Amino acid sequence: MKYVDEFRDGALARQIADRIQAEADPQRDYRFMEFCGGHTHAIARYGVIELLPPNVRMIHGPGCPVCVLPIGRIDQAIGLALDRGAIVATYGDTMRVPASPAPGSPERLSLMKAKARGADIRMVWSAADAVALARDNPQREVVFFAIGFETTTPPTALAIRQAEALGLRNFSVLCCHVLTPAAVDHILSAPEAARLAGEAGLATVPLDGFVGPAHVSIVIGSAPYEPFAIERHKPVVIAGFEPLDVMQAILMLVRQVNSGRAVVENEFTRAVTREGNAAAQAVVAEVFEHREHFEWRGLGEVANSALRIRERYAAFDAERRFELHYRPVADHPKCECGAILRGVRQPTDCTLFGNVCTPDSPMGSCMVSSEGACAAHYTYGRFRDIPIRAEPTRPAPTTGATATTATTATNARPSVT
């Protein structure tokens, strides 16, 4: 496919890998966080880790919008459907995120399980679909459960403006949109990260740089990352989601670290500018304002890290319309999603990973979305971390020829192409 295959060229990938190998100083370690779940998915899918030298380590970040959604917010959406009789519309991945246990049962609910109990919860492809639901069901309250980073925020803002223009009094939004720069700043300031930095003899967080998100940066531009380079001395390279994009970004980060530089570089020049999308930023600023505090799964409360609906559009704010009060809820006690989202654990560090917790039966949010670290690792890379166990030799099936013996590996490693 033109303009895609060029960024998946195996020969070019090997050339970039050779450059990384040649330029990475064997006397030091490089720790880069790919903030966005899309990059985590690409790294796992295309085997990027296997092309990197051992001293170049990629650390998963909290840039999966489904993963960072706290249980208390999902409980609010379920309550609107089960207890208030509203039609709740939301994106597909959100449907399967585990929430609080059902009353009188140890089983944790989700939007999908609540739907099975009779709640009117519908998957939509866009915020505009939720507006259409309200228009087509004038006797019902319709609530759009809006989640996501800066990429999905402009469509929600446009949906609210459209609902106002249509005079829809039965439409509202449960707003859970969050902001990327605040999360990066929180990670660099987190007490746990600071403790690990101290143990490693470092002055700050044990991260040497960030692979900046692609789609988010199309909207907000590259300028919001500049404080991390200037004030925190952490280089940022914004990268596209194709494997060559990611590998080129890693090479650029290695070069910055080697030279002692810390600047924002843009590998994804075909889509990202320094200023971003001014029209999208304007509509978001018109409809939304910053929340003082918002809970993220795994990160806790993060200041100025989320959006709420402005007073001008208060009629479309589900929290005000239904007088909702947020109540934090703890994760499953054995689930390591929080630590994985902070970058201090890997999916295979979790005792639930791959046995109790799978994409078919997720115990935590990181296993739900394809952008979640656990789901990506399970789908594309989990066998790399499990020792290969050979089955006892046994006769191979005969087809009329002399029988031979064969040994099969139950956990064969996928080949790298």
Tens of pLDDT along 266-321?
A: 999 999 999 999 999 999 999 999 999 999 988 888 999 999 999 999 999 999 99
Domains defined along the chain, listed by start:
5-64+185-211+232-266 (3.40.50.11750), 71-177+277-321 (3.40.50.11740)
What single-letter amino acid sits at 7?
Answer: F
- Per DSSP, the three-state class of 31 is strand
Contact 143, 318 (CB under 8 A): yes
Q: Which residue has the higher pLDDT, 6 or 41?
A: 41
Strands of 275-382 (E only): list them: 288-290, 293-296, 300-303, 307-309
Question: Does residue 39 contact residue 370 with C-beta atoms inside 8 Å?
Answer: no
Contact call for residues 56 and 26 (beta carbons, < 8 A)? no
Can you tell me the distance from the alpha carbon of 337 to that of 80, in angstroms, rounded to the nearest whole number?
26
Question: What is the number of other CB atoms lying within 10 angstroms of the CB of residue 164?
Answer: 15
Quick: pLDDT tens for 340-390.
888 888 888 898 888 888 888 888 889 888 788 999 888 887 555 544 434
| Mean predicted confidence (pLDDT) in 214-227 | 96
Instruction: Evaluate whether 142 touches 86 at the Cβ level (below 8 Å).
Output: yes
pTM of the model: 0.85
In whole angstroms, give the CA distance from residue 219 to residue 93. Answer: 22
